[in-house]
Amino acid sequence: MKTLHDIGENTLLKMLLPTLPQNRGLVVGPGDDCAVIRIPGAKDDLLLTTDPVIEGRHFLPETPLPLVGRKAVSRAISDIAAMGGLPQYLLVNLVAPSSTPLSHIQALYRGIAQAARTFHLGIAGGDTAQGPILELHITAVGRIPRGQAILRSGAKCGNLLYVTGRLGGAYLPGSRRHLTFTPRVEAGRFLSRHRFATAMMDVSDGLATDLPRLLDASRKGIQLDLNAIPLSTAARRTTAPLHHALADGEDFELIFTISATRQKPFESAWARQFPRLAATQIGRILANPHQRNIPVGGYQHFQT
């Protein structure tokens, strides 16, 4: 009897998605960072995403609860950033044992509220329910000018692949980056506003797991420049920095592709706009989807 562990998240989603009904008005359905919904008459499209943050998977019982709240919000709005959108509202579902001290819940919501304020988000609703462990499920709603959402499927042959920031080691001892990262909302909006990016997604399960998802959606291959991959300080302290950069996950940086003809204007505009955030070219898109020099696998839910 096959279990979720046997097949992993990728195969599960590939199996389930074709069985699910779609309907009109849905510009982008499951399989991208967000759903894109078109509202008749509106000049903006709507972006929708929902993300779980679960005790034992995304944080530990000893993780400071304000940081858990912050992470839950940041994960969800990182998906909005990955489409180039502006996050606006959150819905927050809380699951908790009834024995949870009230002060814990207050600490959790302090983190949620603070992250929401940082990004000018309104808490639009949510629900609470009893369960065996602490969980947050955050739905984020964002907007983007009609037709401007940057999808995973837009990479063209010859495009240059970039990544923001540095990768790897978000969970390593001494790093709390998986809790304290800043979702790349400004970078994503910059890339969509100037129409630099042809495809984009955020790196949540590690470059080695997420890049193939972008390539699959675009039906393309990649010549990755492994030496160019920017390594986090935490990863560089290990004996296998590149492995950590490829496989760890929870970086929440953006990967995106740019037409080679726009490389120069892009790089100078980026440097002016983001003097303290690197955008590093790490590869070039190939026409053949089977040509991919990606060395190792990253994180897949249900298989660890």
Of residues 245 through 304, those in contact with its own copies by CB under 8 A are 301-303
Closest approach of its own copies to the CB of residue 45, in Å: 10
Q: Decide: is 231 part of the binding site for its own copies (CB under 8 A).
A: no
Q: How many CB atoms lie within 10 A of CB 73?
A: 28
Q: What single DSSP character describes residue 167?
A: B
Distance CA 72, CA 138 (A): 7
Q: Decide: is 44 part of the binding site for its own copies (CB under 8 A).
A: yes
Tokens of 141: 């709603």
What is the separation, in whole angstroms, between the first and last Cα of the chain?
A: 19
Strand order in the sheet with 86-96: 26-28, 35-37, 44-54, 135-145, 86-96, 122-130
Tokens of 270: 């980026």
Q: Which is nearer to its own copies, 88 or 164 (CB)?
A: 88
Count interface residues toward its own copies (CB under 8 A). Answer: 86
- Applying CB under 8 A, the span of 24-32, 176-184, 220-228, 249-257 interacting with its own copies comes to 24-32
Distance CA 46, CA 68 (A): 26
Contact with its own copies (CB under 8 A) among 71, 143, 178, 189: 143
Q: Decide: is 78 part of the binding site for its own copies (CB under 8 A).
A: no
Q: Decide: is 147 part of the binding site for its own copies (CB under 8 A).
A: no
Q: Decide: is 6 part of the binding site for its own copies (CB under 8 A).
A: yes
**Residues in region 95-134 near its own copies by CB under 8 A:** 95-103, 105-106, 109-110, 112-113, 116-117, 120-133
